[in-house]
């Protein structure tokens, strides 16, 4: 059976306002599903529901064809400062998935892959730029190697050259069999990378 992340009949509400309702979404291993919509349409909320960080008002999320375990789902946030532990160095943040799994991790090699100067690894989030912090978050994702990757505007903090490099790295995860949900305001990117697209504006 193909590993699949499925959200069925998902409904989200904030302050009595319905953000989206009866939404179905799915992503198979080795494929990319895009999510587009205007600001406030619920794109980030949808990712948080799929990640298990927010409970939907209705509906359910299932992982099919895969053993559910810690680290199965990886989330790459649009604003890395909102998720980074300010008391951890970048080195510790990148290596944490390997530490939890009790396996070795060459953090310097991972930093080189994501274009992060290894000299920055012993700095804290407040001591690096948003783009450098986002690169560290991508490195952490590579170490985690999740079955499903949820990306919320993953290139928003990056310059065009860095953005292309990060998209290439995320594609490597897909090529290795991960399923990806990609939220982006760049419709060209979504159309080029995604097999299926969920448009929250037309529901």
Query: What's the pLDDT at 203?
Result: 61
Q: Please report where in the chains the tokens 């699949």 appear, as a residue.
A: 4
3-state DSSP call for residue 142? Answer: helix
Query: What's the pLDDT at 68?
Result: 65
For residue 78, give the CATH number of its domain.
3.40.50.300
Q: Alpha helix locations (H) across 3-64?
A: 43-51
Q: Which domain holds residue 93?
A: 4-202
Query: What's the pLDDT at 185?
Result: 85
End-to-end CA distance of the chain: 30
Task: For residue 46, give the nearest of 178, 175, 203 by alpha carbon.
Answer: 203
Continuous segment of H or E residues that includes residue 144: helix 130-144
Domain count, the chain: 1
Cβ neighbours of 155 (radius 10 Å): 21
Query: How many whole angstroms separate alpha carbon 155 and alpha carbon 183?
Result: 10
Digit-by-digit pLDDT tens for the chain (203 residues) are: 689 999 999 999 988 889 999 999 999 999 999 999 998 899 999 999 999 999 999 999 999 988 766 689 999 998 889 889 999 999 999 999 999 989 999 999 999 999 899 999 999 999 999 889 999 999 999 999 999 999 999 888 788 888 888 889 899 999 999 999 999 988 888 988 898 999 998 76
Residue 196 burial by Cβ neighbours in a 10 Å radius (0-12, 13-18, 19+): middle
Question: 47 near 75, Cβ under 8 Å?
Answer: yes
Query: How many whole angstroms separate alpha carbon 51 and alpha carbon 126?
Result: 26
């Amino acid at each position: 059976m193909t590993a699949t992340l499925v959200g069925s009949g998902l409904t989200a509400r904030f302050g009595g306002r319905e953000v989206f309702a009866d939404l179905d979404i799915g992503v198979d291993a080795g494929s990319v599903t895009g999510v587009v919509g205007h600001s406030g349409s619920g794109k980030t909320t949808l990712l948080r529901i799929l990640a298990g960080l927010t409970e939907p008002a209705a509906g359910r999320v299932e992982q099919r064809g895969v053993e559910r375990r810690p680290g199965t789902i990886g989330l790459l946030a649009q604003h890395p400062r909102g998720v980074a532990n300010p008391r951890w160095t970048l080195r510790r943040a990148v290596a944490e998935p390997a530490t939890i799994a009790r396996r070795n991790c060459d953090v310097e090699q991972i930093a080189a892959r994501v274009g992060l100067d290894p000299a920055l690894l012993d700095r804290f989030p407040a001591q690096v730029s948003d783009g450098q912090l986002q690169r560290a978050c991508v490195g952490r994702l590579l170490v985690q190697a999740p079955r499903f990757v949820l990306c919320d505007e993953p290139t928003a903090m990056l310059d065009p050259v860095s953005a292309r490099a990060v998209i290439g790295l995320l594609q490597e995860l897909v090529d290795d069999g991960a399923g990806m949900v990609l939220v982006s305001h760049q419709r060209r990117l979504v159309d080029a990378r995604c097999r299926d697209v969920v448009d929250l504006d037309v529901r």
